[in-house]
Amino acid sequence: MRLGIGSWSRTVVAGAVIAGCAVTGVLANTGGSGDTASFERFVAGFWSQARKAGISRETYRAAFRGVRPDPDILERNANQAEFKTPVWTYLDRRVTEERIAAGRAAGREVGDRIAAIEARYGVDRNILLAIWGMESNYGSHKGDKYVIRSLATLAYTGRRQKFGRQQLLAALKILQNGDIPVEYMTGSWAGAMGHTQFIPTTYEAYAVDWTGDGTRDIWRSTSDALASTANYLKRSGWQEGVPWGWEVKLPRGFDYSLVGTGTEKIVADWARLGVKPVRGGNFGAWAPESSIILPAGARGPAFLVTKNFRAILRYNNATAYALAVGHLADRIAGAPQIAARWPRDERPLSHSETQELQRLLNRRGYDTGGIDGRLGPRTLSAVRHVQGRLGLAPDGYPTTALLERLR
């Protein structure tokens, strides 16, 4: 192969690890990890894409020195969780008294810097602290896996090859640009990096050099990491001075067809429909477009969320995550816990049960968009319609009781 990559790959992949660097231990623990010869062929073949993207031979060789598939990632990639974590359990684990206190302490430590970042980008400093706390526990758990190894493993085999190859190419570009030495390029098993866990393509698009030292170092510079996060949220539609949302109380007889981010009204219109802050009072002078969400159905808390909630979803497209970030930010700022009770006696449907629900809905003439075990917009719309026909609150929240009815 041109540039000698074919013969070179066997030397580099099986070669000595980089001595005296932060990832030495990670790279050294590679023995017996899958089909080495097949992986070497993948590395050799990927070189053509890297070269077209502007990666030098020297950068490519340095990036893959000593790298073999990570057996931990091979196992994670092959298995999909059957049972889902209830939103209340997720919040219990993420929004703890310890994390709230640590967030306030971190806010004091970076006070002047985060105030300047807030002023520049218009993103609430407590939201930035909450994301920092959620993603790496304020920098104490940034991940110690070598990112190139993690992404190469995902790119090489399994159900996330497209993601892995896209992110691997972006990670190589980061090394090529010199933002971080190879020995410090560590992160999670899926390639999320730094204090606020950017994946490489997000880093490429949104990371900023706040300190002005010529590098966008989200691994070692809290300022670069927090500013990069603020830049990402701003460019995702964050509205300055607007809350992420409020916990609310819905009036008796509320029309549940209005639930979901597909329906937006200004706050005053929701108030005219009888929607009120759960702790009394009113919404003040706020007038942004907003939506009602019921993360645990009609039996659980209700929230009126703004476009800033959607911006958080751009960071991680999971309602539980965005809700945890918003609530943690509120708690850091001194707000109380969520007032309404969660339906802790309700068990969320497992992956296979959700697939069964989709099959049963399709048999009744509803289009769920596939049998994939995911609660996408079409599945939730179908759930609402069938709930209404069965005389249930059409909140779009699938329960084991609903599944039994459909059976």
Say how many C-beta atoms besides its own lie within 10 A of residue 374's C-beta: 14
Closest to 133 measured CA to CA, from 315, 369, 324, 346: 324
What pTM was computed for the model? 0.88
Closest to 224 measured CA to CA, from 204, 205, 209, 203: 209
Residuewise pLDDT in 10s, the chain (407 residues):
333 333 333 223 322 222 233 333 333 333 444 478 999 999 999 999 999 999 999 999 999 999 999 999 988 877 767 778 999 999 999 999 999 999 999 999 999 999 999 999 999 999 999 999 999 999 999 999 999 999 999 999 988 999 999 999 999 999 999 999 999 999 999 999 999 999 999 999 999 999 999 999 999 999 999 999 999 999 999 999 999 999 999 999 999 989 988 899 999 999 999 999 999 888 887 778 999 999 999 999 999 999 999 999 999 999 999 999 999 999 999 999 999 999 999 999 999 999 999 999 999 999 999 999 988 889 999 999 999 999 999 999 999 999 999 99
Contact partners, residue 3, CB within 8 Å, separation at least 6: 47, 51, 57
Q: Which domains does the chain have, with CATH numbers?
A: 245-333 (1.10.530.10), 351-406 (no CATH)
Reported as a single tens digit per residue, the pLDDT across 232-255 is 999 999 999 999 999 999 999 999
Reported as a single tens digit per residue, the pLDDT across 89-125 is 999 999 999 999 999 999 999 999 999 999 999 999 9
User: What letters, b where the CB count within 10 A reaches 16 and e where it falls short, cover 227-243?
Assistant: bbbbbbbbebebbeebb
User: Which H helix or E strand runs over 9?
Assistant: helix 5-13
Secondary structure string (H, E, C) spanning 353-379? HHHHHHHHHHHCCCCCCCCCCCCCHHH
* Integer-rounded Cα radius of gyration of the chain: 24
What tokens does 376 get?
Answer: 């996408």
Residue 278: strand, helix, or coil: coil
| List of E strands, 150-294 | 186-187, 245-249, 265-266, 276-277, 289-293
Q: How far apart are CA 342 and CA 338, in angstroms?
A: 9
Q: Are strands 289-293 and 276-277 parallel, antiparallel or unpaired?
A: unpaired
Q: Where are the alpha helices (DSSP H) in 252-348?
A: 267-272, 307-315, 319-332
Say how many C-beta atoms besides its own lie within 10 A of residue 75's C-beta: 10
> For residue 287, how many C-alpha atoms fall within 13 Å in the half-sphere facing its CB?
1
Residue 229: strand, helix, or coil: helix
Reported as a single tens digit per residue, the pLDDT across 294-320 is 999 999 999 999 999 999 999 999 999
DSSP state of 179: S
